[in-house]
Amino acid sequence: MNFLGKLLGIDRRIIFLFVGVAVALPLCFPEVNLKIEITDSVKKVYDIVESLPEGSKVLIAFDYDPGSMPELQPMAESFIRHCIRKKLKMIIMGLWPQGSVQANLALEKVLREKEFEDIKLQEGVDWVNLGYTAGNEVVIERMGSNIKAVFAADHKGVKLENLSLMRGVRNFSNIDFVYNLSAGYPGTQEWVQFAVDKFGAKLGAGNTAVQAPLVSPYYPKRLLGLLGGMKGAAEYEFLMGFPATGVKYMFSQSVAHAVVCLFIIVGNVAFFLNKKKKRQGR
């Protein structure tokens, strides 16, 4: 078998090995940063948060589970970091059973950072986790009338009337901005249809790369801003001046894509050269 034939007959496991190394190796060099172009949809979310005065109330809906952590958790951490810097009040919830757990993980990680080591946030005063309740879009619709009718207590069982943050918060009219992190159903589409269209909530979102194209038609009229996939997470980190997990993963993803493209080019070149050689040998 000639060289071109051997090249076309490479075991796919060898290709998988190269791609695996391409994904893993860049993670060992976190100090390497990519230059990432900031899109308008990401900048809009950042600008909205920047424009909110101190003490404004932001609702963050965590509608995903651990399977979507690589894309959505960096978005969550950056947004929480931004809220803490701006001294905003965070109301956390989830339409997915594990969403509020993801929220706690993101909050705990951000609060361990050196920037916030001297900041003591009080649960129930500066932030509250309402937890999860079943009902999908029905939950959103009921929140538009009365949040306490859906969430009688927080995730620890403390009644909302005993939490200073929730006093005076009846529905979406008492919330300055809603930010939805979504991996599917229920998620951004339902928040647009019920929170925005029905109750006039101001909504921004962060979505997985698969879901972002499905909700992008809502931007910019019904959805005020949108982060899409790993790139969206990295863009927000750059805007925050805090390159972190999103940027690191984006670097790894870019190298892996380059390796895949290289194999595609080499495979196609080898195929056509081998085909030409066979014709000439007839």
Facing residues of 226 across strands?
205
One domain, residues 71 and 156:
yes
Domains of the chain: total: 2
160 with 179, same domain: the answer is yes
Decide if pLDDT at 130 tops 80: yes
Q: Could you tell me if 46 and 83 are in contact, meaning their C-beta atoms sit under 8 angstroms apart?
A: no
Contact 226, 45 (CB under 8 A): yes
Same domain (yes/no): 221, 187: yes
Same domain? For 17 and 149 the reply is no
Mean of the per-residue pLDDT values of the chain: 89
| Whole-number pLDDT of residue 19 | 75
pLDDT, residue 251, reads: 67
Q: Are residues 233 and 265 in the same domain?
A: no
Question: What is the pLDDT averaged over residues 158-171?
Answer: 93
pLDDT attached to residue 212? 95
Task: Supply the CATH number for residue 142's domain.
Answer: 3.40.50
Chain segment 49-93, per-residue pLDDT in tens: 999 999 999 999 999 999 999 899 999 999 999 999 999 999 999
Name every residue whose Cβ is closer than 8 Å to that of residue 195 and which is 6 or more positions away in sequence.
140, 143, 144, 172, 178, 201, 203
Please tell me the distance from the alpha carbon of residue 225 to that of residue 180, in angstroms, as a whole number. 10
- 230: enclosing H helix or E strand: helix 229-240
Domain enclosing residue 253, as ranges: 1-33+246-282
State whether 26 and 43 are in the same domain. Answer: no
- pLDDT at position 15 is 78
Instruction: Please tell me what DSSP assigns to residue 140.
Output: H
Confidence of residue 246 (pLDDT cuts 50, 70, 90): low
